[in-house]
Amino acid sequence: MSLTTLEPPASPGGAPTEPQQPHRVSGGMLDPKQLLTSLPDAVKKLDPRVMIKNPVMFVVEVGAVLTTLSAIKDPSVFAWVITVWLWLTVVFANLSEAVAEGRGKAQAETLRRTKTHTVARRLTDWRPGATSPREEEAAASDLRLGDHVVVEAGQIIPGDGDVVEGVASVDESAITGESAPVIRESGGDRSAVTGGTKVLSDRIVVRITSKPGETFIDRMIALVEGAARQKTPNEIALNILLASLTIVFLLAVVTLQPFAIYAGAEQSIVILAALVVALIPTTIGGLLSAIGIAGMDRLVQRNVLAMSGRAVEAAGDVNTLLLDKTGTITFGNRQASEFLPVKGTTAAELANAAQLSSLADETPEGRSVVVLAKERYGLRERHEGELGHAEFVPFTAQTRMSGVDVDGRQVRKGAASAVTAWVAANGGRADEEVQSLVDRISQSGGTPLVVAAKEDGTARVLGVIHLKDVVKHGMRERFDELRRMGIRTVMITGDNPLTAKAIADEAGVDDFLAEATPEDKMALIKREQAGGKLVAMTGDGTNDAPALAQADVGVAMNTGTSAAKEAGNMVDLDSDPTKLIEIVEIGKQLLITRGALTTFSIANDVAKYFAIIPAMFAIAYPGLDKLNIMQLHSPASAITSAIIFNALIIVVLIPLALRGVRYRPSSASSLLTRNIWVYGLGGLVLPFAGIKVIDLIIQFIPGLS
């Protein structure tokens, strides 16, 4: 095991049902239909038992109730206009949350349609190797942990579980939206199956791993609906700050009335309520919940299921990213890229021997050797049947080589140490040139395969095949982008340190962990966390489960084992490890959106202060008219304009809260500066203009002029 720091780079039975495609919703602007659909839910949220969970908007609702009573007792146009707009402020704030939840409900409704009342074929006495276990019919809802069920082609898998016997092609489009079938088989890291998906071919036995009502789809439905969404620590802290500001301004307004009475300018309940609503941070208070829900929704749109809002938020604060090399940084399937013959052997002779030894090798590496020999040297692709009495030697973990015996000739291909040992045992010797070629390929990040042949009783090395694991296009640029975010990337691989270093240099990662074991991964995560850092990683195997559970953001692949999916706090339905980078970007976007709108909301209150305070005391203290810098028409129109703007700005900002502020990789200080200039300055300037425009419109309404 090696952890090396690199210098930054230079520059179920029953009638099958067709699965429904998951609903996809864009994160763009609102459409009228969506608003109308969410409006009833917004009105239902006016229940004080619901509103009290949002202290800022609860105070606005209490103010609306007081102004309503005041308007009934002492009716006037001004009192009723303020009352109506205070109620609209509460409804608009609820509407932002209802719209965000509505998107999740649309997704959940589609998922519910994938749930079928399936009759399962339960095996009552199944054991490994049993030839004819007894079957009984059982409703999917009656299945319990540890039950075994058999599922054949055309049938629906009745519950979440692991394949313990057989291999089958499974249609998971009901879950992932991807129409291409996937292979699920017993053993290994691709044994997990999801209830509601459909077996397309063959027969498998599944061990049930979930209780009724706690299946993967059930959890997805609860999460995307928001029923299982818990507020994150950051969101709770911000709620406490907003509640504290609300209490401060509430006390300030309450103590303001005695001074007003002393000055002979006693204020009505309507004006005092309007002042409280204008001063407290209603904009962010009304949008805060929607921002959190929308963050999880953006992940769902990318086929990532976050088990908690805490995980989404933690993704935005990640300092260290652990990425598997194979399938994430590289394509994973090593391809033959070059034949390197030794002295006394031609490249064509080496290619011919390499192709012969690979004819029975159905691995991607073996097929690539056959193809390279055909393309580079014009060797016709031969088949096993054409070689007559050829005897093929399969690859085994013990011999670490494969080959063929044909026409009195033996050809072997495999690991350098295994093949050179075979050569030595058959009267030959591998010289220093072979070791030099092997070392050169290893140092370049490739995998060397030595090819040897035995003729006339003596074996000799013919040359080396260079297998190369190709780094995915654009990975260096993506890692550069992560570096600008302040995120350190660590590549995890089982390769030897030389190979790992070469791939790490080519890809542009910061560090690498070579010859990694599950214990090594855990130790690395704990070291990073001990230094106060948040760690994210991906995994799909049972051996990844401890590290996924330890990581702050653990993204399990949907194709992985049940243990991995239970350990992680996110599941990638597309099983694309590179999506971890997108998850981090979405987390950062969530935090930036929350910060930007909080900045805007607080700056917003300053303009409303200049609109209402001078209007309240202009009669008692004429000198305050100098603060009426917007030259608003009258005290009544000034207060009304501020309250109308306060309500409308929430509606205007709903699309931004749902879509999120665009994230650009940069340092924390530059992000803070940008927020202050764009949203802080915008929060100051926009209300002045908006309130003035509204004042020009309403000044002609009798009772407000």
Residues known to be catalytic: 324
Instruction: Please choose, from the candidates 159, 161, 492, the residue with its C-alpha nearest in 3D space to the C-alpha of residue 325.
Output: 492
> Is 395 among the annotated ligand-binding positions?
yes
Record the tokens describing residue 679, joined without a space: 């949203």
Residue 519 CB neighbours (<10 A): 12
Query: What residue type is 446 in one-letter code?
Result: G
Gap between the Cα atoms of 594 and 597, Å rounded: 5
Eight-state DSSP code of residue 423: H
Cβ neighbourhood burial of 498 (10 Å; 0-12, 13-18, 19+): middle
What angle, rounded to 10 degrees, do the helices at 55-73 and 77-114 form? Answer: 140
Beta strands in 172-308 (DSSP E): 182-185, 192-193, 198-199, 203-208, 304-306
> Strand 553-557 vs strand 570-572: parallel, antiparallel, or unpaired?
parallel
The CA–CA distances, whole Å, from 671 to 233, 485, 663, 664, 674 equal: 21, 10, 9, 9, 5
> Strand 135-139 vs strand 192-193: parallel, antiparallel, or unpaired?
unpaired
| Beta-carbon contacts of residue 449 (< 8 Å; ≥ 6 apart) | 365, 369, 413, 414, 415, 416, 464, 465, 467
> Is 544 among the annotated ligand-binding positions?
yes
What angle, rounded to 10 degrees, do the helices at 233-262 and 55-73 form? Answer: 30
The beta-carbon contacts of 66-70 under 8 Å, at least 24 apart in sequence, are: 66/269, 66/273, 67/269, 67/270, 67/273, 67/274, 69/269, 70/268, 70/269, 70/270
Record the tokens describing residue 666, joined without a space: 């940069």
> Is 401 among the annotated ligand-binding positions?
yes
| Beta-carbon contacts of residue 333 (< 8 Å; ≥ 6 apart) | 364, 365, 368, 469
> Is 540 among the annotated ligand-binding positions?
yes
> Is 396 among the annotated ligand-binding positions?
yes
| Beta-carbon contacts of residue 664 (< 8 Å; ≥ 6 apart) | none
Gap between the Cα atoms of 110 and 377, Å rounded: 54
Which alpha helices (H) appear in 562-634, and where do they start and end? 562-567, 579-617
Gap between the Cα atoms of 102 and 226, Å rounded: 9
Q: Cα–chain-centroid distance for residue 427?
A: 58
Gap between the Cα atoms of 294 and 299, Å rounded: 9
Gap between the Cα atoms of 245 and 55, Å rounded: 10
Residues listed for the chain:
705
Q: Cα–chain-centroid distance for residue 482?
A: 16
Q: In a 3-state reduction of DSSP, which class is residue 129? A: coil
Cβ neighbourhood burial of 230 (10 Å; 0-12, 13-18, 19+): exposed
Answer yes or no: are the C-beta atoms of 191 and 182 closer than 8 Å: no
φ/ψ (deg, to 5) at 150: -105, 135
Record the tokens describing residue 520, joined without a space: 């090594």
> Is 399 among the annotated ligand-binding positions?
yes
Q: In a 3-state reduction of DSSP, which class is residue 149? A: strand
- Counts for the chain of helices (H) and strands (E), in that order: 23, 22
What is the secondary structure of 617-676 as a DSSP string? HTTT-GGGGGG-TT--S-HHHHHHHHHHHHHHHHHHHHHHHHH-PPP----HHHHHHHHI
Record the tokens describing residue 668, joined without a space: 């924390």
> Is 361 among the annotated ligand-binding positions?
yes
Annotated binding-site members for ATP: 361, 365, 395-402, 413
Annotated binding-site members: 361, 365, 395-402, 413, 540, 544
Annotated binding-site members for Mg(2+): 540, 544
